[in-house]
Amino acid sequence: MFIPSNACRTLFLAALLGGPAQAATTYIWPSAAPCNGLLQACIDATANGDRIEVASATINEDISVYDRDLTLVAAPGFEPVFGAGHWASVTSSAISGNRSVSVGGLSFRGGYFFASYGGTGTATLDLRDLVFDDAPGVGSGGLQVYAYGGTVNATLYRNRVTSLPPYAGRGIISFVARGGTLNADAYYNHVQASSSGLVSGGGIVADYAGSGSGGRVRLHGNEVRGSFGLGGIVASEGIDSAMPVSFDARVYNNVVVGTAAASSYGIRALVNTGTINWQAVANTVTRVDWGLVAGPYSGASAGARINGLASSNLVRATVMGLYVDTTNAPSLTNDYNLINAPSLANVALGSHTLSMAAKLVSDELPRLRADSPAIDAADTNTVGLGMGFAGLPFLDADGLRRMKTWFALDKIDIGAYEYGDASFAHVATAANTSGHVSTLHDPAIDGVATAHPQVTQNYSLRGVLSANPFGTWLNGSAWTVFIENFVSPPNNLGFDVFSPAPGAGAFRHLAEASNIVGATTRLNDSSLNDRPGSMVFVTQDFGSSGPTAYNPHDVGVRYVATSASTGYWVVANLDQSVMPAGAGFSLYAQPPGPNAFSVTKVAGVGASNDIPINHPLVDGIACAQPIVTRVDTGSAVNNGHYDVYLNPGTQRWTVYSYESGGIAPGTQFNVLVNPAQVAACTDVIFANGLD
């Protein structure tokens, strides 16, 4: 178990003084000198700004990144794992200036990652897609970030950490300010206690104390599993210092699931002598004794304060749902929460608070059922504006749209998950198919004329190939999938279907003379205009009335920039055939996130017609239903049809393109994973993140 010493106060990324700037170099380890020996030797040989890609399955050494700017990541096609007990650190000298380190795609087995900065400049730390997997009941210290001086801007994204806290005042993931300004962002991390009993310490802990400390922490979309005596998610001030400190904590859209162990806490703010400006909004907490808690450490100053609010949270607790100490948090407000606990609260509850059964899928998988009173019951203004002012992505804990309808009758849901999106599989059979049309059937779209289904061909459903372009058609009240060139689909041809809930980002588009240019039709929707980073998905849609046209071509999407800040999206025929007037399309768009992302063809990775998806939520899960759309480049693709399949050798879901000659390097596909679908089809609790 790792406990940082005071010597770490002088460490982390020292500045190199003077000298001309040099172009960054990318090194592959292991390869030629200086990267033909230990990884540490390769690191020591780099200059500031260089990049190391690890092209090895194993790393059997401890590594230290000291006094340098560096990017250290897994090479494409590799998943490097540190040998048992090996660790990594990022540290500096006391004279550090501005420094930057990025680390990604590495795994640890019984090892930890520790970073600290004590210089006078600004250190930027980006840690993402790291995996820590301790044995049951064992804790190696997890992932710890310290600010001893200067400013530390730390981003932790989509890491998966199974461990125990290094000691009682820390978390499995810790952000610790001890004399420095710490601005910490933790988004979509999965934290799992490696013990099922009550754990000393916390899951994710942000702790600010001591002279010179300050800053802010933003915790969004994280999932914490385990029972913690300190709390699943904790913002604390002055845990070991009488010097008053002030910082902001924004805790939005997180999930905490305990093990029903006694004396466990969900989301907590603890103050000693200073001030925490705390917002706990739209979180879900289940299987803990105490749900939301705002109060002092024992013996705290009467002048210590927790200001802010607790709004739109869903709490299932076994003792008390909400506890607010009125001495140290006299102005903390609460409303629009759903509290399902034997004792609701020790303070007066807001007038919109719901005290009733939450009606979840289960306490272990706490998404909302269709009859949950939490649906459309949150404070839309508080959640939406709070996320906007905090600079958070407009996504829920599943990484899907949090904001489906702004400031309208349809409100945001209480808790971390937004209800309404649905997924199902369809297999064309003689019973549901007539000619080139196969009828879909699922409660999510049956009779729903406003649905905008996204459909991807899935070879692994029944092992059937088809190179024919397809679309959807609302035949009366029944949605269908049909083959655009009138060919009957082969028996047992499989499709994944994602039906997004109505609202911003889900719409239909009709190609008309006014919006057609060559092979493309220009989209015009506020969810897409001037948003080059959006994840966009398209399925052809014949519609139910009005001008329509068959378009027997596979399609993709592309962003067209008209300036540095403006542009629009188009749907394109991948073979660059002229887009016919009357062709219809269903679109789905959302901000990028952990479950809506792009994959790119890298030369030498996978078979020539394959792009591995590599996503921890679907890796090895045969019943997963990924949705994909190709990104058009404007160059003709010969047979641009594609599907997805679970590669039996790698156990990775893979995009397969039917084009002759293989997929060109640099080709991109947008990928959408619905975590609720994976959870439903496996009916297990995942410990590998993003569920």
What are the sequence ranges of the domains in the chain?
164-390, 422-499, 506-590, 596-682
State the Cα–Cα distance between residues 78 and 610, nearest whole angstrom.
16
Q: How many CB atoms lie within 10 A of CB 26?
A: 10
Give tens-digit pLDDT for 391-445. Answer: 999 999 999 999 876 444 458 999 999 999 999 999 999 999 999 999 999 999 9
Order of all β-strands in the sheet with 653-657: 610-612, 653-657, 642-646
DSSP state of 578: P
State the Cα–Cα distance between residues 531 and 566, nearest whole angstrom.
8
Report the pLDDT value the prediction gives residue 629, as an integer from 0 to 100.
98
Polymer length in residues for the chain: 691
Can you spell out the DSSP letters for 349-412?
A: PPTT-B-S---BS-SSS-PBPTT-TTTT-S-HHHHHHHHHHHT--SB-TTSSBS-SSSSSSSPP
Residue 18 has pLDDT above 50, yes or no: no
E-assigned strand segments in 4-163: 26-29, 50-54, 58-59, 63-66, 70-74, 81-82, 88-91, 99-104, 107-108, 113-117, 122-128, 131-133, 143-147, 151-157, 160-163
Strands 50-54 and 70-74: parallel
Q: To which residue do tokens 């008309």 refer?
A: 512
Band the pLDDT of 544: cuts 50, 70, 90: confident
Q: How many CB atoms lie within 10 A of CB 104?
A: 16
Whether 185 and 159 have beta carbons less than 8 Å apart is answered as no
State the Cα–Cα distance between residues 169 and 167, nearest whole angstrom.
6
Averaged pLDDT, 482-505: 96
Residue type, 665: P
Count of alpha carbons within 13 angstroms of residue 496, beta-carbon side: 27
Give CA 419 to chain center in angstroms.
17
Whether 547 and 581 have beta carbons less than 8 Å apart is answered as yes
Report the pLDDT value the prediction gives residue 308, as an integer from 0 to 100.
98
Strands 314-324 and 58-59: unpaired
Q: To which residue do tokens 């929707």 refer?
A: 525
For the chain, the first-to-last Cα distance in angstroms comes to 28
Task: Pull the structure tokens for residue 195.
Answer: 């013990």
Report the pLDDT value the prediction gives residue 546, as an integer from 0 to 100.
61
State the Cα–Cα distance between residues 408 and 413, nearest whole angstrom.
13
Report the pLDDT value the prediction gives residue 467, as an integer from 0 to 100.
96
Report the pLDDT value the prediction gives residue 246, as an integer from 0 to 100.
98
State the Cα–Cα distance between residues 205 and 123, nearest whole angstrom.
20
State the Cα–Cα distance between residues 417 and 399, nearest whole angstrom.
9
Residue 586 has pLDDT above 60, yes or no: yes
Query: Residue 145: helix, strand or coil by DSSP?
Result: strand
Report the pLDDT value the prediction gives residue 410, as an integer from 0 to 100.
53
Query: Residue 161: helix, strand or coil by DSSP?
Result: strand
Report the pLDDT value the prediction gives residue 205, as an integer from 0 to 100.
98
Averaged pLDDT, 472-493: 96
Band the pLDDT of 543: cuts 50, 70, 90: confident
Whether 249 and 283 have beta carbons less than 8 Å apart is answered as no
Band the pLDDT of 242: cuts 50, 70, 90: confident
Task: Pull the structure tokens for residue 558.
Answer: 């592309």
Percent composition of the chain: helix, strand, coil (DSSP 3-state, to 5): 5, 40, 55
Report the pLDDT value the prediction gives residue 690, as an integer from 0 to 100.
35
- Considering all CA atoms of the chain, what is the largest pairwise distance in Å, rounded to the nearest integer? 78
Residue type, 482: F
Whether 191 and 204 have beta carbons less than 8 Å apart is answered as yes
State the Cα–Cα distance between residues 368 and 417, nearest whole angstrom.
7
State the Cα–Cα distance between residues 308 and 314, nearest whole angstrom.
18
State the Cα–Cα distance between residues 604 and 78, nearest whole angstrom.
12
Give tens-digit pLDDT for 335-359. Answer: 999 999 999 999 999 999 999 999 9
Q: Report the predicted TM-score, pTM, of the whole model to 2 decimal places.
A: 0.94
In our burial notation (b when 16+ CB lie closer than 10 A, e otherwise), range 40-59 reads eebbeebebebebbbbbeeb
510 contacts: CB under 8 Å, gap ≥ 6: 543, 546, 547, 582, 583, 584, 585
Strands 70-74 and 99-104: parallel
State the Cα–Cα distance between residues 123 and 571, nearest whole angstrom.
42
Residue 19 has pLDDT above 70, yes or no: no
Residue type, 584: G
